[in-house]
């Protein structure tokens, strides 16, 4: 029996601080499924499963956008149904509506919050990075010219402000996105502020970081803080009767690149400091130039560390492709597999019983590999497990 089931591609927010022994929470939720070939029982099962996931989203505060990923019952059983049985402690159908081409159900489901959070986080992508790089910068309140023995000097009255979206963060996010990473910008969500990050980095207490990774369902997080120093001011005497024609500002970044290890503990992939300078006639522009230069300098280092990490965690998944019994077909299939996003290597294992076998290195949950194969023309997923995907291929 086959289902059109939407496995969840999750980019959302999970509430921080869920109690370890939280009691089940019961909520009403809805789900809908297309009726294929008048198969009402299959549609009902899919609609109920969708409604259960909707209940899970409500309880843990996840904003989930579902994308159609697989159309095979085995995938639903392995990737979704097993998790639901552990999370949804009970449910009852409140109503059912046959809309002709689709079936809609409304249920009341009781969800275990802690298990729900863990299950949703298991769908997080290893190539998803949450970024939060707030920058302290000067905001000019007033300027006035002051005459000195060496000439005229500009006196600037400024105050410090925290800019959570800035030239540095935008540059880094842009570079990561260019390389195909899924980037979550933490700043617009107001899930955390610069003071919390600064305190976490000073104290070494990274529970807030773990919470943010759960919150955005990212397996990596790049966090840091930027300070600035006005090295020399415009009009400042720099010796020999010469006045500085520009403001010279130095910006310094302290950062950590963190991932989730076994048991949910934090693993630091990289940490350090970087700095850059900017010059301009006013302090604000000099700081912005410094941040832009810092971003261009820092982004390649982040990309190297992230790429190295993803390559190191790649899993070996055996992919068996029925319907391939000649070398030309094997080469064609291998080329298709190699062109799937985030596949790091494809190794041929030969042809037997009318099927070609490959070992595919892949850093994500194999459910995403199965989905990507299913999206390729000519492939059909026959069965799925954590370590093996059986497909059939028709050119």
Exposed e or buried b for every residue in 11-22, given b needs 16+ CB within 10 A? bbbbebebeeee
Q: Does residue 190 sit within a domain?
A: yes
pLDDT > 50? residue 68:
no
Kindly state whether residues 80 and 144 are assigned to the same domain: no
Question: Is 282 in a helix, a strand, or coil?
Answer: coil
Q: Does residue 28 sit within a domain?
A: yes
Q: Cα–Cα–Cα angle for 352, 355, 359, nearest 5°?
A: 90
Kindly state whether residues 175 and 232 are assigned to the same domain: yes
Question: Is 67 in a helix, a strand, or coil?
Answer: coil
Kindly state whether residues 184 and 292 are assigned to the same domain: yes
Q: Does residue 167 sit within a domain?
A: yes
pLDDT > 90? residue 255:
yes
Q: What is the DSSP letter of 5?
A: B
pLDDT > 90? residue 148:
no
Q: Please identify, among 281, 312, 343, the residue that sits at the C-terminal boundary of a domain.
A: 312
d(C-alpha 321, C-alpha 94), whole Å: 43
d(C-alpha 221, C-alpha 133), whole Å: 10
Percent of the chain predicted with pLDDT > 70 = 75
Greater confidence (235 vs 183) lies with 183
Kindly state whether residues 325 and 286 are assigned to the same domain: no
User: Which pLDDT band holds residue 263 (cuts at 50, 70, 90)?
Assistant: low
Kindly state whether residues 154 and 292 are assigned to the same domain: yes
User: Which pLDDT band holds residue 14 (cuts at 50, 70, 90)?
Assistant: very low
Q: Does residue 184 sit within a domain?
A: yes
Kindly state whether residues 114 and 14 are assigned to the same domain: yes
d(C-alpha 267, C-alpha 152), whole Å: 53
231 lies in which domain range?
A: 127-312
Kindly state whether residues 144 and 271 are assigned to the same domain: yes
Q: Are 297 and 289 in contact (CB under 8 A)?
A: no
Q: Are 108 and 94 in contact (CB under 8 A)?
A: yes
- Distances from the Cα of 366 to the Cαs of 24, 123, 126, 274, 389, in angstroms? 30, 10, 12, 37, 8
N- to C-terminal Cα distance for the chain? 24
Kindly state whether residues 290 and 142 are assigned to the same domain: yes
- Provide the CATH number for the domain around residue 374: 3.30.70
φ/ψ of 286, rounded to 5, equals -65, -40
Chain-centroid distance, C-alpha 311: 17
Q: Does residue 136 sit within a domain?
A: yes
Q: Does residue 197 sit within a domain?
A: yes
- Distances from the Cα of 330 to the Cαs of 69, 272, 318, in angstroms? 25, 46, 15
Kindly state whether residues 178 and 279 are assigned to the same domain: yes
Kindly state whether residues 92 and 212 are assigned to the same domain: no
Q: Are 103 and 39 in contact (CB under 8 A)?
A: no
- Provide the CATH number for the domain around residue 12: 3.30.1660.40
d(C-alpha 61, C-alpha 238), whole Å: 57
d(C-alpha 4, C-alpha 1), whole Å: 10
pLDDT > 50? residue 85:
yes
d(C-alpha 87, C-alpha 90), whole Å: 9
Q: List, in sequence order, the alpha helices (H) in 77-224.
A: 82-87, 113-121, 167-178, 194-203, 207-216
Q: Does residue 2 sit within a domain?
A: no
Q: Per the structure, how many domains does the chain have?
A: 3
Tokens of 103: 């079936």
Q: Please identify, among 312, 346, 367, the residue that sits at the C-terminal boundary of a domain.
A: 312
Ordered strands of the 315-322 beta sheet: 345-352, 355-362, 315-322, 388-393, 379-384
Kindly state whether residues 196 and 225 are assigned to the same domain: yes
Instruction: Round the CA-based radius of gyration of the chain to a whole number and report it.
Output: 27
Q: Mind listing the pLDDT tens digit for each residue in 360-388?
A: 999 988 888 888 888 788 898 888 888 89
Kindly state whether residues 92 and 209 are assigned to the same domain: no
Residue 303: partners with Cβ closer than 8 Å, 6 or more residues away: 175, 176, 179
Greater confidence (264 vs 275) lies with 275
Give me the pLDDT at residue 128, please.
Answer: 85
- Provide the CATH number for the domain around residue 169: 3.40.50
User: Which pLDDT band holds residue 264 (cuts at 50, 70, 90)?
Assistant: low
Give me the pLDDT at residue 298, please.
Answer: 95
Q: Does residue 258 sit within a domain?
A: yes
Q: Please identify, among 123, 145, 169, the residue that sits at the C-terminal boundary of a domain.
A: 123
């Amino acid at each position: 029996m086959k289902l059109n089931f939407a496995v969840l591609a999750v980019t959302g927010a999970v509430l921080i601080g869920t109690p370890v022994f939280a009691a089940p929470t019961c909520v009403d939720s809805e789900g809908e499924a297309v009726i294929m070939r008048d198969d009402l029982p299959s549609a009902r099962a899919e609609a109920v499963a969708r409604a259960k996931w909707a209940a899970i989203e409500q309880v843990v505060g996840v904003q989930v956008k579902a994308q159609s990923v697989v159309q095979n019952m085995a995938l639903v059983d392995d990737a979704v149904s097993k998790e639901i049985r552990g999370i949804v402690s009970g449910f009852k159908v409140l109503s059912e509506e046959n809309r002709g081409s689709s079936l809609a159900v409304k249920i009341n489901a009781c969800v275990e919050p802690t298990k729900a959070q863990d299950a949703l986080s298991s769908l997080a992508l290893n190539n998803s990075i949450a970024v939060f790089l707030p920058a302290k910068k000067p905001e000019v309140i007033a300027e006035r010219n002051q005459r000195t023995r060496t000439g005229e000097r500009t006196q600037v009255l400024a105050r410090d402000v925290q800019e959570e979206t800035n030239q540095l963060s935008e540059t880094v996010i842009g570079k990561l996105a260019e390389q195909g990473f899924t980037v979550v910008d933490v700043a617009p969500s107001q899930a955390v502020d610069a003071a919390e990050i600064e305190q976490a980095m000073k104290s070494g207490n990274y529970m807030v970081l773990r919470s943010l990774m759960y919150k955005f369902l990212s397996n990596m997080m790049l966090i840091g803080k930027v300070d600035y120093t006005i090295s020399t001011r415009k009009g400042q005497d720099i010796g020999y009767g010469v006045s500085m024609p520009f403001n010279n500002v130095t910006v310094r970044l302290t950062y950590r690149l963190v991932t989730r290890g076994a048991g949910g503990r934090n693993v630091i992939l990289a940490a350090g400091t970087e700095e850059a300078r900017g010059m301009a006639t006013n302090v604000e522009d000099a700081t912005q130039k410094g941040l832009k230069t810092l971003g261009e300098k820092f982004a390649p280092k982040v990309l190297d560390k992230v790429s190295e990490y993803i390559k190191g965690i790649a899993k070996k998944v055996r992919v068996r492709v029925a319907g391939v019994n000649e070398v030309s077909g094997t080469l064609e299939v291998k080329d298709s597999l190699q062109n799937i996003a985030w596949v790091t290597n494809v190794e041929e294992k030969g042809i037997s019983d009318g099927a070609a076998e490959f070992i595919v290195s892949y850093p994500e949950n194999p459910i995403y590999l199965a989905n990507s194969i299913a999206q390729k023309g000519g492939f059909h997923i026959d069965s799925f497990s954590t370590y093996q995907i059986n497909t059939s291929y028709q050119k």
